[in-house]
Structure 1
């Protein structure tokens, strides 16, 4: 008979794997996009209708569309990656706790 921890561990593991289907590709896409355009909007800024992405203190002016894409990719990566890691860790913790 499965214990509650095993069931919870399996559910958290499944949720983590589901998030990984979004988090990992979005991270890779965000990293490649940032390399191509010279930075990311999360570290960048906009002023007087001009948009800048930033990387290691170097600011690069980009179009509004490029800035917006970079911002959404970065935000998606942040919003999905941390919960994926936390759910995976919780799943492992509950699974290890159950095997004791």
Structure 2
């Protein structure tokens, strides 16, 4: 199963490291990553694979939300199918 993780907030050192470390700890594989900084705003989108995830998906979402709160950014995880249907033209 694949999912999209989006991270948005004011840029600071360590955002990518913190998020990718959490994902590695939970056995989430990062397949692709795109990040950019517009003025002081950091945006990152990750395509991840959840096949080896050993905790419930809702628990991963909770951990990502908590990490975002710690970093002062918004982190959201959406199943790939939901993301595709929401962004279809």
Q: Shared fold by TM > 0.5?
A: no
Please say which structure displays the higher CA radius of gyration.
1
More helix by share: 1
More strand by share: 2
